[in-house]
Amino acid sequence: MKTKLLILFGGKSAEHKVSMQTAKAVMNAVDLDLYEVHPVYIDAQGTWNKGKRLEGKVEDIKALEVHHETTSLSPFSLANEEESQVVFPLLHGPNGEDGTVQGLLELLNIPYVGNGVLASAAGMDKLAMKAIFQQAGLQQVKYEGFIRKDWEVEKPEVIDRIERNLGYPCFVKPANLGSSVGINKASDRHALEAAIEEALQFDRKIIVEQGVVAREIEIGVIGNDETSCSVVGEIVPKTEFYDYKSKYEDGDTALIIPAEIDSAIYEQVKEMATTAYKALDCSGLARMDFFLTKNNELIINEVNTMPGFTPVSMFPLLWKHSGVDYPSLINRLVELALERHEEKMKIKYTVE
C-alpha cells in the first residue's frame, strides 16, 4: 500500500512565495510509485484548501493555488483512520515553521515530517533560540532584544542600550521571521530607527545584533535521536548581505559546496551544529548557519527548522554532495517522521 503524503504549502506568512517554489519542487521529485500525494494549499489568509491528488508533474505553480469555496478544508478534518498517512509541512516562517501547525498535527496524532512544537517555536523566535544556544555554551554575536511596547515608551533608552552594547553597524531583525524579510543593516542612529520601525511591521519582538565581518557557512543535519551532518557550504552574496533579494530574486548568490575550510573547522562546525540540534530538541531536519571570522572563530547565527528545500537550495544541495539525492532525502525525512511517531505512540498517557 502506498503511503499517503499530504503536502502542506503556501501559508499565512511573508514566506508564502518561497513555500510555493518548494512545494512544486517536492511534488515533482516524490516517487509516485511509493506515495499517494495530496496537495493542501494554505492561502495567504490562512484558509486551507484541498488540491487534487497528484497524477504527474506540476508545470505551473499557479495550478497549485486552489482557493475557492469548494476546496476549503478544515485543518481538523486531516485526522482520519488511515494508518499510512504522513504530513509534510513545507511551510516557512510564522504559521507553519513556528510550531503552530506542528501543534495541530500533534493533537490530530498524525505523523509529520520535521521538527516538533518546541524546536519549531524556539527555532523561529531568534531571542528564544539565542537563549537556548547560550545555555548550551555556543558562541554567538552580541545582541539586544526588546518589544514594541519598550520602543513606544522608552525609545531613547532602547537606542542608548544598542549603541552602548553593540555599536554600529548592527543588524535589526523581527524576532520571528526568516528569508531576511524585514532585516536591515544599520550604520547610524537614523538608519537604526528606520530599521526598527520596519522590523516592527513584521513582529512585536525585535532583535538587534552586532554586525560581524565573516564568511557565512551552513551545514545540514538530519535525524532524530541519532543525527548525521552533511558537508559544509558557503554563501557568497553579491549584495551587501544575504538579503531577501539576493536569496530569491537575483539568483547570483554563489553557493560553494563543499566550502573551502580546514578539516579542523569542519569538525568544529559538526560538533556545534549537533550541540545546537540537541539543545533545541530538533527532529527530522535542520540547517544550522554559522559565521566564520578571519581569525577562524566560529559563531552560530541561526537554525532553520524548515530550510529552503528546492533542489537548488542549500540544504538539499549539501545532502546531494554528501551522497543523498533529493528524492532519497524526501524518503529519509518521511521515515524519520514515522519513526518519531512510533516512539510517541509508546508514551503512556495514564497512571494507574
- Judged by the rule CB under 6 A, the positions of this chain that interact with ligand ADP are 141, 171, 173, 178-180, 183, 209-212, 216, 241-242, 289, 301-302
Rank residues 72 and 239 by Cβ distance to ligand ADP and give the closer one: 239
Cell 564568511 identifies what position? 215
- Supply φ then ψ for residue 33, to 5 degrees: -80, -25
Closest distance between ligand ADP and the C-beta of residue 184, in Å? Answer: 9
Rank residues 210 and 328 by Cβ distance to ligand ADP and give the closer one: 210
Please report the DSSP string for 60-110 in residue order: -GGGG---SGGGEE-GGGG--S-SSEEEEE---STTTTSSHHHHHHHHHT-
Cell 523566535 identifies what position? 125
Rank residues 241 and 248 by Cβ distance to ligand ADP and give the closer one: 241
Element (H, E) at 269: helix 263-279
Rank residues 98 and 216 by Cβ distance to ligand ADP and give the closer one: 216
In contact, 82 and 4? CB cutoff 8 Å: yes
Which residue number has the CB closest to ligand ADP?
A: 242
Closest distance between ligand ADP and the C-beta of residue 7, in Å? Answer: 23
Closest distance between ligand ADP and the C-beta of residue 13, in Å? Answer: 12
Closest distance between ligand ADP and the C-beta of residue 269, in Å? Answer: 16
In contact, 182 and 202? CB cutoff 8 Å: yes
Rank residues 210 and 227 by Cβ distance to ligand ADP and give the closer one: 210
Rank residues 18 and 334 by Cβ distance to ligand ADP and give the closer one: 18
Rank residues 29 and 166 by Cβ distance to ligand ADP and give the closer one: 166
C-alpha closest to that of 36 among 54, 17, 19? 54
For residue 211, count CB atoms less than 10 angstroms from its CB and return exposed for 0-12, middle for 13-18, buried for 19 or more.
middle
Closest distance between ligand ADP and the C-beta of residue 235, in Å? Answer: 7
What is the DSSP secondary structure assignment for residue 54, as one 8-state letter?
P
Closest distance between ligand ADP and the C-beta of residue 167, in Å? Answer: 12
Considering Cα of 337, then 340, then 342, then 344, what sign does the dihedral take?
negative
Closest distance between ligand ADP and the C-beta of residue 144, in Å? Answer: 12
Please name the residues in contact with 13: beta carbons below 8 A apart, sequence gap of 6 or more.
19, 91, 92, 93, 94, 95, 96, 97
